[in-house]
Amino acid sequence: MKRILRQHFYALTVTLRRLIAQPFSSLANLLVIALALSLPLLGVSLLVSVQPVAKDLSVTPELTVFLKTDAAKGQADQIATRIRKEHAGDLESVRVVTRDAALNELRANPAWEQALKVLPSNPLPDAVIVTLRPGDDLANRADTLAQTWRKWSGVDLVQLDSAWVQRLEALLRFARIGLLLLAISVALVVLATVFNTVRMQALSQREEIAVARLVGATESFVRRPFLYLGAITCTLAALIAIGVAHLALIPLNQALSSLARSYDSEFALALPPVSILILAIIFVAILGSLSARWSVQRNTRF
């Protein structure tokens, strides 16, 4: 165990020595990877910050089930109970709005008060307002439920804003796919940068590696410092990327703050939680190590 720890400590020492020996080259590689990593990090920050705002705006779609005007009293409660029973997994909430309550709400609006006084009776139907549970494929789920409820006895109309739901889903899909493509592009940049860095290091250390093999060094002993080089480079670059993203959010938040105040609201972009950042650093370090392993296997065969 002590021998293994000693070998890893030696590989780590050699890696740090090589990084310090070429400060400009090391710094250039760090900046390239860090700037590439900061782009998806800013994208994730935007999505994470928008989620609570979207919840406050109640973007979850609603379906309104209008009963026939001659429906029996209490039938709206029966339909609401049936909806809860048969579609519990798709629902966030179900509430009944009686015709009298709807009329009183309209009378409370000064714009409708005079017009409603000339009506001989209440023309409004009872209604059941159903809020769907957030999830994927909201538009199709809402349309399927609407078609099912239209066939029920006593139901006159089921109204839903399916076009609005489809636009929302399209926007979210676009954001997720765009962020995924950006992350893949950044991963390729990291792989290429680390691969080339390790390749140059391996070629510059060619004689040293040959001598080490002559005295009995194993392949794992020869390649271990290069794996540390990839992991350390990507780890430092990820930390720099977090700092760059944090600095970039400062002017963005200043601009957003003035815009939000004009709408009497508060909004600010923030980095993802620390747990996500730590996982991202670990993932980038593993990616750099794998790229270094691939490069060193291809460029130390001499």
Secondary structure in 3-state letters for the chain: CHHHHHHHHHHHHHHHHHHHHCHHHHHHHHHHHHHHHHHHHHHHHHHHHHHHHHHHCCCCCEEEEEECCCCCCCHHHHHHHHHHHHCHHHEEEEEEECHHHHHHHHHCCHHHHHHHHCCCCCCCCCEEEEEECCCCCHHHHHHHHHHHHHCCCCEEEEEECHHHHHHHHHHHHHHHHHHHHHHHHHHHHHHHHHHHHHHHHHHHCHHHHHHHHHCCCCHHHHHHHHHHHHHHHHHHHHHHHHHHHHHHHHHHHHHHHHHHHHCCCCCCCCCCCHHHHHHHHHHHHHHHHHHHHHHHHHHCCC
pLDDT of residue 278: 92
Please report, for the domain that includes residue 91, its CATH number: 3.30.70.3040
Residues 118, 151, single domain; the answer is yes
pLDDT of residue 136: 66
Residues 153, 178, single domain; the answer is no
Residues 82, 50, single domain; the answer is no
The tokens describing 239, both together, are: 């930390």
Residue that is last in its domain, among 160, 195, 221: 160
Residue that is last in its domain, among 111, 140, 160: 160
Residues 181, 238, single domain; the answer is yes
pLDDT of residue 101: 81
Residues 193, 49, single domain; the answer is yes
Residues 141, 180, single domain; the answer is no
pLDDT of residue 88: 80
Report yes or no on whether pTM surpasses 0.75: no
Residues of the chain under the 50 pLDDT cut: 58, 302
Residues 203, 92, single domain; the answer is no
pLDDT of residue 58: 46
Segment 117-151, tens digit of pLDDT: 666 677 778 888 888 877 666 767 877 888 888 88
Residues 189, 292, single domain; the answer is yes
pLDDT of residue 8: 60
Domain of residue 179 covers 2-56+168-299
pLDDT of residue 239: 92
CB 201 within 8 A of CB 229: yes
Residue that is last in its domain, among 102, 130, 160: 160
